[in-house]
């Protein structure tokens, strides 16, 4: 019996691919040997050059967690620098600090960086979690592990790390003077992650539901949830100004 490296079901040796997900057959020895074949930096280089050819099924499943942790930390640093620059301008004009204007509720006692981190984490959970649930239950990949799914998304979308690093560098050098460029880079980062999830849904052989309609459903659900989240954040911010 062979074990599928993607969905981990067992099937006969005569089959050339997994009857559940369509992954090419591979023996147990190869499955055990390949997870340590690529180091993280090699995985990133491969995904930057050829995202669709990166062997994400056989790399360390923690690579996905590492990629998204770096993404969150870099974005938090970028937004914190922008907030610091804005705080200086507010203090110079109004004689108060920007944090005094923003932080007027008990939650505001938390460090600003932690709040920014949690807001981004919530957005990423909506984005990635929706894609994972649709792929697992609507596309019938019920043996798909979340860490493996994160690694797949990282393989298709790790270029987002270069975009966020560029945004951090621009913010550090130019500050609010280059705000428009930072916003463009951050929007591109979101679109890149979104596109990586769409690719993961489309590149699913023998799916239990049509992939095109799955992508449409994904975009509707994600943007409705993000709209609700962002409106709540804005309303809380406005409420604390008065």
pLDDT digits (tens, 9 = 90+) for 111-144: 667 878 888 899 999 999 999 999 999 988 888 8
**Helix, strand, or coil here: 9?**
coil
Residue 81 corresponds to which tokens in the numbers above? 């620098």
Task: Quickly count: other Cβ atoms within 10 Å of residue 129's Cβ.
Answer: 14
| Two structure tokens written together for 69 | 């942790």
Tell me the H-state helices in 50-111.
63-94, 98-102
How confident is the model over 6-57, as pLDDT tens digits? 555 666 666 666 665 555 544 444 444 444 457 899 999 999 999 999 889 8
* Rg of the chain on CA atoms, in Å: 21
Position 62 confidence tier, pLDDT thresholds 50, 70, 90: very high
């Amino acid at each position: 019996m062979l074990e599928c490296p993607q969905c981990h079901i067992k099937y006969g040796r005569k089959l050339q691919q997994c009857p559940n997900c369509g992954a090419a057959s591979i023996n147990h020895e190869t499955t055990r040997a390949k997870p340590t074949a690529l180091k993280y930096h090699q995985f990133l280089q491969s995904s930057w050059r050829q995202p669709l050819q990166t062997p994400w099924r056989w790399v360390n499943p923690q690579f996905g967690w590492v990629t998204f942790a770096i993404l969150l930390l870099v974005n938090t640093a970028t937004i914190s620098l922008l907030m610091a620059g804005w705080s200086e301008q507010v203090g110079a004009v109004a004689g108060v600090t920007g944090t005094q204007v923003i932080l007027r509720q008990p939650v505001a006692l938390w460090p600003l960086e932690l709040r920014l981190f949690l807001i981004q984490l919530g957005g990423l959970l909506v984005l990635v979690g929706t894609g994972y649930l649709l792929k697992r239950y609507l596309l019938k990949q019920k043996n798909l592990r979340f860490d493996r799914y994160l690694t797949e998304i990282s393989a298709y979308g790790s270029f987002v790390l270069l975009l966020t690093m560029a945004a951090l560098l621009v913010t550090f050098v130019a500050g609010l003077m280059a705000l428009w460029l930072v916003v463009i880079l951050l929007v591109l980062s979101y679109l890149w992650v979104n596109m990586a999830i769409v690719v993961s849904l489309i590149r699913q052989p023998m799916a239990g539901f049509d992939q095109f309609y799955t992508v449409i459903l994904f975009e509707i659900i994600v943007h409705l949830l993000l709209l609700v989240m962002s409106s709540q954040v804005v309303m809380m911010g406005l409420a604390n100004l008065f």
